[in-house]
Structures are given as C-alpha cells and as structure tokens.
Chains A and B, each alone.
Chain A
Amino acid sequence: MITKLNVATIYVLDKNEALDFYVDKLGLEKGNDVRQGTYRWLTVRVPGGETEISLEQPGAPLHDDATAAQIRELITKGAMSGLVFVVDDVRALYEDLRAKGVTDFTQEPTDHFYGTDMGLRDPFGNAIRILQQGKARQPAAAQA
C-alpha cells in the first residue's frame, strides 16, 4: 500500500529565482539543498508538510539542448503543469503577496460553493492555485 506522496517535481528556469519566489514570497520552507558536482537537489515544501516539491531545471544530463529549450518554451507559455495549495486565509495571503511585489495573478480571490481561491503564476509561467476551503461568504451566483 502506498502511504504518502513523497516528492513532486516542477520545472523552473532558475533555481535561485524559484527559491526566492516559493520560499521568500509564497511562504513555503526550503527542504533539501544538496550539491553534487554541478547538480543541486533543491526542494521546498509546505511548512511542516510531508511532500517535497523538487525544483528542477531542464537541461543536461536529463535533456539534450534542443529538448531543454522546448521544455523552457512550454513553461513560459504556461503549458506545463502546476500546483494547488490550501491556505487558511486566502485574502490575507493575496495582500501579503501584493505587498511583496507579486503582480502575476491569474485570478483575484473569488468565492465558490467549495471555498475561496485565487490563481497566480510563478516567475516562469507555472500555474499556482491557492484555495481556502470551506463555505464561502457568498455563493458563486453572486459573482460575475
């Protein structure tokens, strides 16, 4: 029986820039940061959480140059996968991100029957959704 999701991977264009965004802006904590030669095993995770999010850059030795370029192009056009987080106060996080200079929101906090969520992009184009679970103050019907 599988007991937990241990590592999920997303591709980023630059690991330092990713660390700045995911830790300093979004509020995740750094997990592993291990160097082996030119390789850097870098993960972040929800504070106290069990699943490591591995931040990987396309390139050698996993990818030849042409393949890495294709992946980078897909990331920047928003065609790769994303992450969905749960937060206790989505509007507070929204204000905090704005105060930190984050502007790439794909959706302002919006109420639905299942909770309130917002959307943004990481600096490279990956989609991030953040959900505050629970019954929202008003149903989706009141939203345009």
Chain B
Amino acid sequence: MKTKKIIYPIFFIVLLFISCTKLNETFTGSTGDVYSLSIEQIVAPAYSNLYHLWCQGETTNAAVAPSEGGLFPIQELSSDEAMIPTRKTDWYDGGKWQQDYLLTWTPNHDHIKQLYVELSEGIARANGSLLSLDKLSQTSAVKTYQAELHFLRCYYSYLMMDIYGQVPYREYNEIDFLKDPQILDRKSAFDKIVSELKNIALPGMADYNKIPYGRPTKDACKMLLAKLYLNEEVYTGVSGYKDCLTYLNDIISSHHYAIADDYWKIFAPDNNINNNGNANSELIFVGVQKEVNNPAVLGNSGKWDRPFMLAFGYNHKWSQNVPPVGGTNINGVVAPEDFCIMICAHTDTLKDMRWRDDRFVGHRNYIYLGFNYGQQYNFTSFDPKAIDSTRKLARTRSGKPLIYTFDCPLLNATENNGVRVLKFYPNTPDLPIEQTSFGESYSNDYPIFRIADAYLMRAECNLRLGTSDGAAPVEDINAIRFKRNKNKDNSMNVTAGDVTPDFILAERGIELYQEMHRRQDLIRFGKFLGPKASKTETSPASRLLCPIPQPQIDIIKNLKQNPGY
C-alpha cells in the first residue's frame, strides 16, 4: 500500500528520537575542575569567613539586627561590655539578645546555631581549599597558601574550642559529608590545634612584610599560639603562660609592630594606609574591609556593616549622610552602667583618649569617638548640600531631648537609656579617602590581633608567673598608657603595685573594647559568671561553654551536649 510506504520510514525516523539519553545536567558554576581557577579563587572562600565573623550587620536587608552568625553576640553581648535591651517593642526578637547577656542560651538559640555553622564552614572551606591546592603544582606561592590555610583552619577551630568546648574534625581530604565527623574534646582539640600550628602552619607561613597586607604572617601564627597558651589553663587545666611568653617576646622583640601614637587611627576607615601609606603599626593580623555601596556588585556579603547605626539613637546622626538618608539608626547596643563606672574608676577619663575623643565634634557632627553620654546634638539641616554647623538638640522619637544615661535596664529601656560607644567610626568627608557617598558598609579593617594586646598579654603572664620575662608588667602597661594619654606624658602611668589581675582585666576592657576578646578574658579571670548590671544572679558553671546547637546533636550520633544544657 502506498500509504504504508510513506508511513513506515517516518515511523522509523521518529523512533530514532528514542535513543536513550544519559540524563545530563548542567548548571552555572563548576562541578569540581579546579585547574581553570586561579590560586586566589581557590583560597578566597577560607578567608572570607573572617569577615563573616566580625560582621555586625546583615547582608541583604538594611534596617536589621547585627549578624547573628558573628562573634559579636557571643563574645561581647555575653560579657559586661555590651548589651542590647528591649526598647518598647523593639529588640525583643524572641528574647535572643537578652539571653546572650543573661547567659540563658538554649541549644536552639539562633546565635548559638549560626556561629557554630559559620565557624565550621570556615574549617570546611579551609579544608576544601587545601584539597584543591593539592591538585596544583606545588609552587612556593601554593605552599605559602597551604600553610596559611592550616593557620585559618586552626583559628576557626580555636574559636570553636573556646566557645563550644568540642570541635568536630575532618581531615582535609575527607569528602564524605554524609559521614559523622570525629569529635574532639577540648583537650584533644587543643593539642591538635597547637601541633598543627607549630608543625605545619608556622614553618610554611611567610615572614613579616613578605606577603600582601591582610594575609596572616608567622607573627599572626605566633599570636594565635600565644592566645592558646594564655588560655590553656581554662582549656586543659595546665598553665601555659610560659609558652605564651615565648611567643609574645618573639613578636614584640621583632619590632615589626609598635603601639600606635594615635589610638583612634587603629580603628579609622583608612586604618590600612593611615600611617604614611603603611598599615597601622599596631596591626598584626586584620580582616581587610572595603567600603561598598552595593554588596551585589562588589561582594563581601559579610559586610562590616553599620556598627554606628547599631548603637545610636533613632534620630541621632553622625553626619548628614550617616546613616544614609532614609535609613535609620536602630538604637541597640549600649555599654552597661557598671562597665562604664569601672572604667571611670580605672582611668583618668579626662586624659585617656580611649574614653572619649572629640576630634570630630563640631566638625560636621557632634559625636565623640568612644563613650557618648548626656545630651546629644545634631545638625540643623539634613540637606547634604548645606554645610551648616549650627547644632541643635537631638531628640527622641517623641520629641524629648535625647540624653544618653548611664543606667539602662535590660528590659523595657527608654530611648535615652544607655551609654553609646563609637569605636569603628564611619567615613567622614574630612578624611582623605575619596568619597562620593557614604556606603552601606565601612572600610575599617578590623584588628584580629594587634600589638597592644600582645603587651597586655605579656603583662598578664608575667604577673601570673611573678616574672619579668621581656619586661615587667608595669612597664608594658605604662608603655600603652603613655600612648593613650592625650597629653603624651606620664601622667596616666601607674606603679607596679597598681598592676593587679583586676587592673589588667580593666585595662584590657578599655583598650580592647568591642574587639571580641571580652568573654574569653572574663572567663580567664574568673569573672564571667557573676552578677553584672541588670543581672543579679551568678550563672552556673555550665555557662562557661555555649551549648552545642540542637540540629547538630540531632544528626551526629557521637556528639554529646555540653553538661548543664
């Protein structure tokens, strides 16, 4: 039949379509071929978690809370340095900020969960980068990065051990993520980190000034070892102060770093270049930040975002444009009353530039660097074009004068309650950075390790050991105090008898305020659990560790919850 002659070939042809497919899929990105990538593209993810940890703002939404994945809620809000009270309906958010302050975390607390993920992601990213680097030819550049990645892995693990007491561990070439990790207790984690730092990281890392600013050098590694030994007694019960001194003396006697002449330049938006084009002499290891207007364009989603906006009153301005018009401050973080009183007793607040510094006051704004209290002022005009230096009273939302008070309850604070601290300050038109507008994030690099901390640590070790290894405690303290004195004289200096453990803790408080050391310091000095402003009860010893997040307990069989949770 004629029709069949036509139909059957057609039928045959369409049957060819059936030839079974292998079911391929493609998607943006890569399935794991690293050969086409630059070394930098491979290692960058491991570094980026440094930014996330310090980030105090959120990535996509403007007027919201500090990052819940960062160190700030756990390392600072749990201490006596900072708290976030509820203000009317603001800042309750299920009670999480207040729980941070009262140490009443639960295994499902958001900050507990987020920080755990952020730290372990840092470890995993370092692992992933190490695994990929293995596939490249082992040039010296690759080898330096490998050592730095071991350092980063140790840094993240150190924080995890410090905060959670247990460290989930995978070898870097372990890639079955459906398998349970090995769980290291505090002691074995300490040993593993120290040994990795000493044996793998330190030998391979670059010397001072041999790699670009922002990457960790041997000095950073020594500083991390010093931090580990400083707290060894807390971690393992064994004193490590002597070992700590060895590394600190190494760093200090190298003279790579010096205590800054101007304390506030350490935290300036241009702290990377403000010392005659060099990085600030204080900085041993930093997280490099870039001011960006739009995170989608320029990355760094771990924005170092708005520490100013977090603290200051809703209607209180740093300058015309900060916060940007249309944005708003969110009136959150305050310095608790008893901390402020302690600092006032500890230092001469008139001379100590760390307490407050008026360099910008009357100069397009009315805000001090450091601690702000009392009546606050604003400009008369918000017009970005008008330069109007006439001040007017800053007001609360209900139109009353905005007066920051020392006292501040944890629940139901008013807009006025609480001393506001500005440390990492925003850019201003007076600074030499070319600036077309005020970005949504700041370019202040944050100091992970700096030399003043090393001096304070050395003073502490020597005091605890009764030695003067490198220098007597009072010498190190005065070395700092001399530079922090507005008059640059000895009038703030102290005597050897003044230098007690409490003195060192207070000195660390004013010097290292909001630099993510306070929780660790308080624990080392045995002051973490006690009563403080708006907290009357002593917390149980179990609070020295944070709980392991419930989701991890749920899925990892050999992971046990810390006692007391």
- Asked if A and B bind, the verdict is no
